[in-house]
Amino acid sequence: MATRTRRRPARQARAALLPVLLTGALSLAACSGGGTSTTPAQSGSGSASKTLVMDASFTLKTADPGRNYEPTGLIIGKALYDTLLTFEGSDVTKPVPSLAESYEQSPDGKTLTLKLKQGATFSDGSPVTADDVVFSLNRVRDLKGNPSFLLDGVEVAKTDETTVTLTSKTPNPALPFILPNPALGILNSKVVKANGGTADDSDKAEQYLNGASAGSGPYELESFNAQSQVVLKANPKYWGADKPAYGKVVLRNVESATQKLNVQRGDSQVALDLSGDQIKTVSGNMRTTKTASANMVFLLSNQDPSVSKVTSNPKIVEAIRKGVDYQGLLELAGEGSVQAPGVIPTMLLGALPPDQAVKRDVEGAKAAVAASGVANPTVKLEYPSDLTLQGLSFQPFAERIQANLKEVGITVDLAPAPVATALDNYRNGKEELGLWYWGPDYPDPTDYLVFLPGKTVGLRAGWKPGADKELESLGDKAASTIGDDTRKQLYTDIQSRLNASGPFIPLIQPSQNIVTAASVTGLAFHPVWTVDVAALGVK
């Protein structure tokens, strides 16, 4: 994700950078902003009059849902705009109703019918209608902005005053998992149209939506500065049962070292971007959340003999897979990190159970090297030198992998490069051995079919169509299957086969570390919007 600009015009470009930008690695300089009181929230009665201050390393461009697809923007969008469906807490395995009261997907996976909840209103008190839904979703799709790909090939139609139908050209079992994305928040169409909004690329509403919100969410936008801070205020007409606990929320752009200082001295109540080392030394009456992120770090072993006769040898791939010390990498990553059992992160539908993760087998790796027929195998490992993921640099992991593989008879030459250069080789399938990560576009296993032969990431590993016909057939079936139980089994079968003979070696899921003051309750990390501001309360 290009600063989670994750999004580029073409899906291929998106998928390439995607793994690069969910991070917050490209933090901006800290800035306090101005003009708004940021009195710390305090426990006690009258919490709705309190202010919550949150520090984050901004990856932010806009507050306009139709153009918003950066991590910080999704935090803001979740607070301002309700979506048709959502997720309960941090669980992303089952979409639940929000503005829709129910939904039903057709057996062929091409039609999704949603009944709208009655009584939902925008912040100006007007009702949320089917016309608002159709306008909002069509606008996201047809603006051709960063999140437009979410609705590629989807037609949105009003069936009647309380029913909306989404029709896909091909089976789309992921659609219920896509609709909770804050970029698909429902806008007050009358207000947006009055301020230049259209459902095509002639739209002029972004300036308005960067100064005032037009949603039905628990908060409204008070002020917006993509470089310094964003201020939200409670929506006094919020229609939902759970009213905002804070009268005001200030989200500030602060680099991680200052975030730690601020939360410890009470200048803020939430720090979103601390590294594993920083969180170890947080003192005072703080709450810490350490949980595996949805980012999956992996090795890529190129299968194209014209790129590498070494890594395209299946016995060398086996040796690399068995030779890596996964537990050692976890120690480097720090508390809260977990070994990635497959390419699908542990919190998503279809993830492999932890006991199916690959285990180190030094003797088995040495035997595979001997069976490869390659004398003194040497490979070049490429990775981005200037990218961090949840505060972690790729360099120590590369060095550890180099040492691990030396033990089993494989020489690894490290080839770090600036991210732009490294990405070029990665995207063009020119890396012999690559160290990268993948962050989900949306929390559904269909987003990981890109790792199969002939697909986006498969091709980056030189894995061409026809390389594993049985696996490709499983992928085609999974892409069109409806029903969570059946899908779960298909994706576990796919990953088991990938782990046995594919060119990808899943390594770890780094920890997402969040620190809050003891007065803040209700925080749960979410892989789509990081934190649900409206769920935060006051003790």
Span 221-272, pLDDT tens digits: 999 999 999 999 999 999 999 899 999 999 999 988 899 999 999 999 999 9
| The pLDDT of residue 48 | 66
| The pLDDT of residue 135 | 98
| The pLDDT of residue 42 | 40
Q: In angstroms, rounded to a whole number, what is the distance separating the alpha carbons of residues 474 and 493?
A: 8
Of 436, 441, 446, 448, whose CA–CA distance to 527 is shortest?
441
327-355 residue pLDDT tens: 999 999 988 899 999 999 999 999 999 99
Q: Mapped to the 3 state alphabet, what secondary structure does 185-196 carry?
A: CCCCHHHHHHCC
**pLDDT, average across residues 24-47:** 35
Alpha carbon of residue 268 to chain centroid: 25
510-530 residue pLDDT tens: 999 999 999 999 999 999 999
| The pLDDT of residue 230 | 98
Contacts of 199 (CB under 8 A, 6+ apart): 135, 138, 139, 142, 143
94-108 residue pLDDT tens: 999 999 999 999 999
Strand 111-116 vs strand 163-168: parallel, antiparallel, or unpaired?
antiparallel
| The pLDDT of residue 441 | 87
DSSP per-residue letters across 128-157: P-HHHHHHHHHHHHHHT-GGGGGGTTEEEE
Which ranges of 380-510 does DSSP label H, i.e. alpha helix? 394-407, 419-427, 456-460, 469-480, 484-501
**Rg of the chain (C-alpha set):** 23
Looking at the chain, the whole-number percentage of residues with pLDDT higher than 70 is 91
The CATH class that applies to domain 296-509 reads: alpha beta
117-164 residue pLDDT tens: 999 999 999 999 999 999 999 999 999 999 999 999 999 999 999 999
201: confidence class by pLDDT, cuts 50, 70, 90: confident
Domain ranges of the chain: 31-290+513-538, 296-509
| The pLDDT of residue 388 | 79
DSSP-assigned letter for residue 482: -
Q: In angstroms, rounded to a whole number, what is the distance separating the alpha carbons of residues 425 and 420?
A: 9
Model confidence at 177: pLDDT above 90: yes
Model confidence at 90: pLDDT above 60: yes
| The pLDDT of residue 539 | 87
The CATH number of the domain covering residues in 31-290+513-538? 3.40.190.10
Model confidence at 12: pLDDT above 60: no
Model confidence at 40: pLDDT above 60: no
- Which range is least confidently modeled, 293-302, 383-392, 410-419? 383-392
Model confidence at 439: pLDDT above 70: yes
**pLDDT, average across residues 302-329:** 98
**pLDDT, average across residues 383-412:** 93
| The pLDDT of residue 82 | 98
399: confidence class by pLDDT, cuts 50, 70, 90: very high
47: confidence class by pLDDT, cuts 50, 70, 90: low
